[in-house]
């Protein structure tokens, strides 16, 4: 575990505004002791591809925009692992790895949000909202006019636990944000309790098919069982 306050000013700022819960601030991959070595190696390979420029806006490459889908039972370390991943990126990635070459300073290279929080943000924007909220929402999609606000690596936590309306517009919104980010060459890390075989029933056949293209799936099973017990 590292102390975020000891990071260089820019990286400390990125960490503090990345939406990371205080209980997981400073966590490193080595702190995820309940994750199997095999799964950690898979995650590290993906991080290396991103750092090497093979994912974020990697035009023409099969890995362009490809994210991580972390699947597992509650309490098996999915969220903690996702948080450790983006903090490693914030601490160690050069600007070039985030897909920016014109000297601009990124506002939020990486960001963490539950899917319910994204739904709530959308509702606030429908009711009015602020310019800052609008930039955050567009930045999550990678569609902000000011590229500095486009989030390069977004964690969407707890997919499958969202409050669903009768119209099912939340399903459409999830597909839209995942598809838009992928098309813009921006990877997403999704954590969910839903196994891949359940995605068609939950979100439709198009989304289930899409995640097979846009994500590397890792089925996590903690070596200690439910870590919350």
Over residues 39-75, the pLDDT tens digits come to: 999 999 999 999 999 999 999 999 999 999 999 988 8
Provide the H-helix boundaries in 52-109.
Answer: 78-92
pLDDT score, position 76: 80
Segments in the chain below pLDDT 50: none
User: What number does CATH give the domain 4-219?
Assistant: 3.40.50.300
Cβ proximity of 27 and 80 under 8 Å: yes
- Here the tokens at position 71 are 């699947």
Q: Give the integer Cα–Cα distance in Å for 114 and 56.
A: 22
- Here the tokens at position 149 are 């606000």
pLDDT score, position 166: 52
Per the DSSP assignment, residues forming a β-bridge with 190 are: 69, 156
pTM recorded for the entire structure: 0.93
């Amino acid at each position: 575990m590292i102390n975020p306050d000891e990071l260089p000013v820019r990286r400390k700022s990125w960490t503090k505004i990345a939406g990371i819960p205080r209980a997981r601030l400073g966590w490193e991959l080595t702190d995820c002791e309940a994750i199997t070595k095999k799964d950690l190696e898979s995650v590290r390979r993906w991080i290396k591809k991103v750092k090497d420029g093979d994912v974020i806006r990697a035009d023409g490459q099969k890995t362009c925009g490809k994210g991580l889908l972390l699947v597992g039972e509650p309490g098996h370390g999915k969220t903690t692992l996702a948080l450790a991943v983006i903090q490693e990126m914030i601490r160690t990635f050069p600007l070039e790895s985030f897909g920016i070459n014109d000297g601009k300073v990124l506002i939020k290279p990486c960001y963490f949000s539950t899917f319910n929080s994204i739904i709530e943000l959308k509702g606030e924007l429908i009711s009015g909202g602020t310019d800052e909220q609008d930039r955050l929402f567009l930045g999550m999609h990678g569609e902000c006019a000011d590229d500095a606000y486009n989030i390069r690596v977004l964690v969407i936590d707890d997919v499958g636990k969202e409050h669903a309306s009768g119209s099912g517009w939340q399903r459409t919104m999830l597909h839209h944000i995942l598809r838009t980010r992928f098309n813009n060459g921006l990877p997403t890390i999704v954590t969910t309790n839903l196994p891949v075989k359940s995605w068609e029933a939950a979100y439709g056949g198009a989304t289930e098919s899409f995640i097979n293209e846009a994500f590397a799936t890792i089925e996590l099973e903690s070596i200690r069982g439910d870590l919350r017990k």
